[in-house]
Amino acid sequence: DAGVTQSPTHLIKTRGQHVTLRCSPISGHKSVSWYQQVLGQGPQFIFQYYEKEERGRGNFPDRFSARQFPNYSSELNVNALLLGDSALYLCASSQTVGTANTGELFFGEGSRLTVL
Amino acid sequence: KQEVTQIPAALSVPEGENLVLNCSFTDSAIYNLQWFRQDPGKGLTSLLLIQSSQREQTSGRLNASLDKSSGRSTLYIAASQPGDSATYLCAVTNAGGTSYGKLTFGQGTILTVHP
């Protein structure tokens, strides 16, 4: 079975541009979360989506937005890119939300964004 | 606000040595704790998941323990190999609500195992 897949793997943008990152969860997983990992630091939580609804949001500006589609795939959008947005963007999926879930998250390989 | 700290920040050991990585967290009301491995420029690979009601989990040469009341977890790696060289990240999920997709990560421990 395929794991979490993300695209593109690498991309370069200039300041002020917009970027869309895509994620396909593991088959059967309905929850998708997004994380930003700046070089040398641990990942920081951006969003969680479950059943197409936002279930959690981290401390990121409104330039960051996301959505989840009926097939549970997800997009992360970042507007008005800043140099500081350069990072590895990770997507994670889990089976469900609720007490029946072990809460284990499975991560994709990430999208490396460089902002010049 | 949950904060996770990992010690040491970096560790270099000779092949064959047993080693311990430490993780501490400030809020003991957690749902679970996960240990991940990250190779340079790559995504995260889940190593072990410990539920809040458990004390430890084992997988091969890896053993993770959890002391929720004191806010500590350790990852024990037995008979280290050069292929174990990577960054090891500890992350917790806070209990309550629907926060199961939200992990709070430590900064990681960079492990180098030299032949």
Q: What is the pLDDT of residue B115?
A: 93
pLDDT bucket at B77, cuts 50 / 70 / 90: very high
Chain B nearest CA to A28, separation (Å): 15
Distance from the Cα of B66 to chain A's closest Cα (Å) equals 16
Interface contact B107-A104, CB threshold 8 A? no
- Please judge whether A97 and B98 are an interchain contact, meaning their C-beta atoms are less than 8 angstroms apart: yes
pLDDT digits (tens, 9 = 90+) for B81-114: 999 999 999 999 887 765 567 899 999 999 999 9
pLDDT at residue A105, rounded to an integer: 87
Nearest Cα of chain A lies from the Cα of B105 at a distance, in angstroms, of: 6
In sequence order, the β-bridge partners of residue A6 are A23
Question: Which distant-in-sequence residues (6+ apart) come within 8 Å of B53 by Cβ?
Answer: none
pLDDT along chain A (116 residues), means of 10: 91 97 94 94 94 90 96 97 97 73 84 97
- Reported as a single tens digit per residue, the pLDDT across B25-50 is 999 989 899 999 999 989 999 999 99
Residues of chain A with Cβ-Cβ distance to B89 below 8 Å are: 42-43
